[in-house]
A and B are shown apart, each in its own frame.
Chain A
Amino acid sequence: AQSVAQPEDQVNVAEGNPLTVKCTYSVSGNPYLFWYVQYPNRGLQFLLKYITGDNLVKGSYGFEAEFNKSQTSFHLKKPSALVSDSALYFCAVRDDTTGKLIFGQGTTLQVKP
């Protein structure tokens, strides 16, 4: 069965510092991995995806994610955090049979001025 895990409930970062939000995955075939962001009282917004190809994936709002097959990880990164990046971040894997997204538990990112 496909699954993803986000080991941190919350990540705190100072504005201007680099940020990392961690995600590990478990899949039976090729991984189709995603990051979504949820701002307060809003729906989820797509940030980026890894399907195949380069291990470093670039997405919206300056975010990127690194796919690491040996460590089964797909960590979300940004070189310089903004206060406006504060939100709830979800890692997800797509079940290739049904197309459904299976989400991690979510990580709250707090960026302090």
Chain B
Amino acid sequence: DTAVSQTPKYLVTQMGNDKSIKCEQNLGHDTMYWYKQDSKKFLKIMFSYNNKELIINETVPNRFSPKSPDKAHLNLHINSLELGDSAVYFCASSPGKHYNEQFFGPGTRLTVL
């Protein structure tokens, strides 16, 4: 009965590969987010979807493409992985885009070799 889940938990891959991270929330929320936490623990938003519509698209390389097939899912696809993409990626959700509290998933640790 995990509220926000992500798969995989760990992802180790070679430079140049393409990979996807999946996120699902069973809270009935309308809004979902992707955050990146770098090696210094700094957290920054990447994307947000509200009712399957992209509402936040920060300055992120276009190798990163989010997809929201429905309100409960937000996936992140990364093409041509680079060393600098190594980080922990967190998915989060909230009832609406102006709602106060966001609920975070456990994170996906991506290591690019």
Q: What is the interface of chain A, defined by CB distance below 8 A to chain B?
A: 32, 34, 36, 38, 41-46, 49, 51, 88, 90, 94, 96, 98-103, 105-106
Contacts and interface: CB of A to CB of B under 8 A. Distances in A.
Question: 3 tightest A-B contacts by CB?
Answer: A43-B104, A99-B97, A44-B104
24 contacts: A34-B100, A38-B41, A41-B106, A42-B106, A43-B92, A43-B106, A44-B92, A46-B102, A49-B100, A49-B101, A51-B100, A90-B43, A94-B100, A98-B55, A98-B56, A99-B31, A99-B48, A99-B55, A99-B97, A99-B99, A100-B56, A102-B45, A105-B40, A105-B41
Contacts of A32: 100
Given A100-B48, A103-B42, 9 more contacts: A41-B106, A43-B104, A43-B107, A44-B92, A94-B100, A98-B97, A99-B50, A100-B56, A103-B43
B45 to A, nearest CB: 5
Interface of B: 4, 31, 33, 40-45, 48, 50, 55-56, 90, 92, 94, 96-107
- The main secondary structure of chain A at its interface with chain B is strand
Contacts, number: 62
B41 A88 contact: yes
B102 A101 contact: yes
Contacts of B56: 98-100
Contacts of A106: 41-43
A44 B101 CA distance: 11
B98 A101 contact: no
